[in-house]
Amino acid sequence: MVNKKSPLPLYYQIEEHIKALIESGELKPGDVLPSERELAESFTISRMTVRQAITNLVNKNLLYRKKGSGTYVSHKKFEQSLHGLTSFSEDMRSRGLDPGNKLIHFELSSPTEELIDHFTLEEDDLVYKIKRIRLANGEPMAIETSYIPVKLLPGLSQKVLSSSLYRYAEEENGIKLGHATQSLEASAATEEDAKHLQLDAGDPVLFIQRETFLEDGAPFELVKSTYRGDKYKYKMNIERLR
Ligand code: 16G
């Protein structure tokens, strides 16, 4: 396990040992690691060396620390491509997961200034405000707050929102989605995010805003989402500019 005569530094050997336990599945995502003291005792090495190995694995995102609780094995993140306008349901199905929803808010209301500007609405137009927890195999991944002008989808109901919004818009309402602009920002989970996403307040999250437009360029939805930072990473292809 640990060879004190090896030219390899001890912290590196511990790192490799913990990595092997993760790769073999002996340590699973979400498992807590023994304390630094216990590890130091079992390897008969100093706590400093154990701490260095753990810090390196935390920096490589293989482990994460929870204040006052311990060190845990990280969950594998979903790699989400920033190419192609897809729905949450499509993304989950393409990974072999079962998409789910928990609707926590559904309201028809008068638009705020921001929404009037974004959708170029009249004052008496109404907008839907929809808040859903998005689930993958029953596990919460994100909280999504969507705004859509009522006149674009007059029949939208709570029942429809228990499955895919894009499928309903395209297949049942003949809506032609065209493109979206999307921004991503690092943020920290609020108390409310933490409650819905099974996180601790202050944990890292990704704040994503998507503005989706129809093929004819008219705005369709404005969506503000909070994705779990321990579950998601975004990937993009970039080409050399010449
Ligand atoms: C994605 C979109 C969201 C869209 C939803 C439709 C992002 C950041 N957001 O979650 O804008 O409303 O898909 O999903 O990607 P659905 O068709 O499964 O209801």
| CA of residue 219 to ligand 1 center, whole Å | 15
| CA of residue 136 to ligand 1 center, whole Å | 13
Alpha-carbon span 103 to 84, nearest angstrom: 26
Question: What pTM value is reported for the model?
Answer: 0.80
Q: Which residue has the tokens 């994503």?
A: 208
Residue from 78, 86, 88 to probe ligand 1 pocket by mutation (most atoms less than 8 Å from CB): 88
Residue 69 has pLDDT above 90, yes or no: no
| CA of residue 105 to ligand 1 center, whole Å | 16
Alpha-carbon span 226 to 217, nearest angstrom: 26
- For 60-75, give one letter per residue: b (16+ CB within 10 A) or e: eebbbeeeeeebbbbe
Structure tokens at 213: 């437009």
Residue 142 has pLDDT above 90, yes or no: yes
Within 6 Å (CB) of ligand 1, which residues are found? 87-89, 99, 144, 146, 164-167, 208, 210, 212, 221, 223, 225
Distances (CA, A) of 205 to 164, 193, 233: 23, 9, 11
* Residue ID of nearest Cα to ligand 1 atom 16: 164
- Residue 79: pLDDT band (50, 70, 90) is confident
pLDDT in tens, 53-65: 999 999 888 998 8
pLDDT for the residue numbered 60? 87
Structure tokens at 233: 């990473």
Share of the chain above pLDDT 70, in %: 100
| CA of residue 156 to ligand 1 center, whole Å | 15
How many of the other CB atoms lie within 10 Å of CB of 209? 14
Question: Do residues 153 and 128 make contact, with C-beta atoms less than 8 angstroms apart?
Answer: yes
Question: Do residues 103 and 134 make contact, with C-beta atoms less than 8 angstroms apart?
Answer: no
Amino acid making up residue 184: L
| CA of residue 87 to ligand 1 center, whole Å | 4
| CA of residue 82 to ligand 1 center, whole Å | 13
* Residue ID of nearest Cα to ligand 1 atom 5: 87
Residue 123 has pLDDT above 90, yes or no: no
What mean pLDDT do residues 118-146 have?
Answer: 96
Residue from 131, 223, 224 to probe ligand 1 pocket by mutation (most atoms less than 8 Å from CB): 223
Q: Which residue has the tokens 């943020």?
A: 187
